[in-house]
Amino acid sequence: MSNIVATNGLRFIIFVLIQVLVLKGIDIGGANFNYISIIIYPLFIILLPLRTPHSILVLLGFLLGMCIDIFYDSYGIHASASVFSGYIRPYVLRLFAPKGGYNLNYSPVANRYGFNWFIAYAATMLFLHLFFYFSVDAFTFYYISDIALRTISTFIISLLIIIVYQVIFNPKE
């Protein structure tokens, strides 16, 4: 039990540091096309153990988002998107449940449930997180084309980095 807590605590710190120290400073689109961001911190919520209680998912989502918001000066936008991700995670997992169900002692990683399953699950979670994030950021659906463009462009690059992470580090838990 303490090994799982230590692993996820370290993962929390690493994802926050990578997001705020490395990925925040990367400008892919330049001044003319500023629709692309790299957002990988939702992977922390995606990789939490399956037996994590729903209330803890939401609380950890809030803490994760607030840590990111502090460095991005975004006043709760990342926190709201992370809380949303923590809230919808059980429903997305139910959507992708294997025939035999889940073994609640494990984390939802490709090593346990297959690479295609993981990509579908992570892509769904990431897309929902990003769409919620950019919708709250715009605060109106008047800019739905900008929201869609930002969501899709950020989704593509962020999902590619998440896939690379999954292939290189191949987390077991």
**Cβ neighbour number for residue 38 with a 10 Å cutoff:** 16
What is the rounded average pLDDT of the residues 127-155? Answer: 93
What is the rounded average pLDDT of the residues 125-150? Answer: 93
What pLDDT digit, counting tens, does each position of 152-173 carry? Answer: 999 999 999 999 999 998 877 6
Q: Whole-angstrom distance between the N-terminal and C-terminal Cα of the chain?
A: 12
| pLDDT above 90: residue 139 | no
- Which residues have CB under 8 Å from 2's CB, separation 6+? none
For residue 135, what is the domain's CATH number? 1.10.1760
pTM for this entry? 0.93
What's the domain range around 38? Answer: 2-169
What is the rounded average pLDDT of the residues 84-92? Answer: 98
Alpha helices in the chain (DSSP H): 2-17, 42-46, 54-72, 77-95, 110-113, 115-138, 144-169
Place of tokens 């769409």: 131
Could you give the CA distance from residue 140 to residue 144 in angstroms, rounded to a whole number?
8
pLDDT, residue 141, reads 80
Q: What is the DSSP string of 90-135?
A: HHHHHHT--TT---TTS---HHHH-HHHHHHHHHHHHHHHHHHHHH
Percentage of residues in the chain with pLDDT exceeding 70? 96
pLDDT, residue 1, reads 60
Q: Structural domain tally of the chain?
A: 1
Average pLDDT over the chain reads 92
What is the rounded average pLDDT of the residues 107-111? Answer: 91
What pLDDT digit, counting tens, does each position of 21-45 carry? Answer: 999 888 776 666 677 899 999 999 9
- Which residues have CB under 8 Å from 122's CB, separation 6+? 43, 46, 159, 162, 166
Could you give the CA distance from residue 20 to residue 38 in angstroms, rounded to a whole number?
11
The least confident of 10-14, 91-95, 98-102, 168-172 is 168-172
Half-sphere exposure of 54 (CA within 13 A, CB side): 8
* Reported confidence tier of residue 105, pLDDT bands at 50, 70, 90: confident
